[in-house]
Amino acid sequence: MKIGIVITAYNNEETLENVIKSAAALKKNNKVYIVLVDDCSTDSSIKIAKLALKKNQIDRIHINKKNHGISKCRNIGIKLSKKTDYITFLDGDDYINSKFTKISNKKIYGDLIVFNFNYLNKDKIFKNYFFNKDQKLLTDDIKKYFYNYLMKPNKSSLFTTCWAKLYKTKLFKLDKTLRFNEKLHICEDTDFVFRFLLRSKNIQYINSYMYLHSLQLGKKNLDKATFASKKNIHHQISFLKPVESCKKYLIKNRENLSFVQKKIDHCIGAYTIIYTIRSCIRINSFLSFLKIYFFWKKIYRKELFLNAIKNYSPKFAKGGLLIPYLIKNRFYFITILVAYLFAKKRYL
């Protein structure tokens, strides 16, 4: 079995060397092909990558001539890893656990194989796991997950991240549309995994820690793809795509449309509140405040979002009461002011 590891990098000079080493360490026990796709870095990331290529730590480098975004980079990585059996993704500031259970010792059968992942915050590691043992995930397990996701989209992380998973390369060859949506800069991985689930007949969970995700502190969050703070503000509602993909899975598997739609409305409401707060990390002047205010004011008034906030339940989402109250009562200016204070406390 040959595993393709797609490393995506953009101005990751502080972490990239160790990221590459964590992936290269897997070569000792597994057949691994490592592709690094750099998204036109302006720091020393490319220099680090080229040195790693000389040391045979990675097998191939692709350097974009201009910045395309992480979705395009991952799609390039998929194309360059076509002679593998499985593909996994590694961000340029995260790490693969080189000591996780040898994959070659496991019975591998899944179209999608899911592992545990941990979080790194400062120097502390927070462990995160999903089930107590290796198992095959059945359709009912996936549906149960989706309903949990629709209630608490920021808590149900098993399928919301593209990393800590192995994807059967054959499926990419059979379905050319099974790629990351290059128009998305937020929630692109959630949308991708949900669509991959639609194509997967066998989903396998292995109770081993595979991935370490780094959480940034303070102003470093401004550079995290999660926030897309340097992209057009309209990307803040990209969460509509994965929610749509989730709906397709549930309807395909004979769930009641009316019942599902109520859960969908709640989820959109939850996401609207989450991204209202996250979008406020880009506020650095009164003008930028007004830009965000007018954007969300227009969004809140649309029928889709009016219904979402109406059907949103803070109790089910385990969220705060203040922001949904303000939106429901159309205190939009105060909503953005409060969201900014929350964002500053939480992320900056």
For 76-135, the pLDDT digits (tens) are 999 999 999 999 999 999 999 877 767 656 788 999 999 999 988 877 888 888 999 999
Same domain, 169 and 281: no
Domain membership of residue 248 (yes or no) is no
Shared domain for 23 and 170, answered yes or no, is yes
Number of H helices, E strands in the chain: 13, 10
pTM, 2 dp: 0.94
Residue ending a domain, among 219, 238, 267, is: 219
Same domain membership, residue 109 and residue 161: yes
- Residue 132: C-alpha distances to residues 167, 206, 267, 340 (Å): 22, 9, 27, 39
Contact 36, 20 (CB under 8 A): yes
Helix segments in 137-256, DSSP class H: 139-151, 169-174, 188-199, 240-252
CA 37: distance to chain centroid? 18
Looking up residue 27, the CATH number of its domain turns out to be: 3.90.550.10
CB-hemisphere CA count at 13 Å for 31?
Answer: 8
Out of 219, 242, 270, pick the residue that ends a domain.
219
Q: Is residue 326 part of a domain?
A: yes
Question: Has residue 178 been placed in a domain?
Answer: yes
What are the structure tokens assigned to 68, written together?
Answer: 């395309």
C-alpha dihedral sign at 159, 239, 315, 144? negative
- 208 Cβ partners below 8 Å, 6+ apart? 100, 101, 115, 116
State whether 202 and 67 are in the same domain: yes
Do both 263 and 141 map to the same domain?
Answer: no
The predicted pLDDT at position 219 comes to: 64
245 in a structural domain: no
Containing domain of residue 341, as a range? Answer: 256-346
CA distances from 214 to 77, 152, 190 (A): 21, 22, 18
Q: Is residue 227 part of a domain?
A: no
| 93 and 139 part of one domain | yes
User: CA–CA separation, 250 vs 270, rounded Å?
Assistant: 19
Q: Where does a domain end: 172, 191, 219?
A: 219
Classify residue 179 by burial, with Cβ atoms within 10 Å: 0-12, 13-18, 19+: middle
The reply to whether 73 and 214 lie within a common domain is yes
- Number of domains within the chain: 2
Question: What share of the chain has pLDDT > 90, as a percent?
Answer: 84
Domain membership flag for residue 98:
yes
Residue whose pair of structure tokens reads 């059968």 in the numeric block: 109
pLDDT above 70 covers a percentage of the chain that reads 95
Within a domain: 214: yes
Same-domain pairing of 179 and 276: no
User: Per-residue pLDDT for 233 more than 80?
Assistant: yes
User: Are residues 261 and 208 part of one domain?
Assistant: no
Does residue 88 sit in the same domain as residue 190? yes
State whether 30 and 123 are in the same domain. yes
In-domain check, residue 8: yes
pLDDT tens digits, one per residue of 248-272: 999 999 999 999 999 999 999 999 9
Residue of 51, 348, 5 lying closest to 169 (CA atoms): 5
pLDDT band at 48 (very low <50, low <70, confident <90, very high): very high
Alpha carbon distance, N-terminus to C-terminus of the chain: 43
How high does pLDDT run on average in the chain? Answer: 93
Distance of alpha carbon 344 from alpha carbon 119, whole angstroms: 21
Shared domain for 285 and 165, answered yes or no, is no
* Burial class of residue 66 in the structure, from the number of CB atoms within 10 Å of its CB (0-12 exposed, 13-18 middle, 19+ buried): exposed
Nearest-Å Rg of the Cα atoms of the chain is 20
Start-end of H helices in 81-225: 139-151, 169-174, 188-199
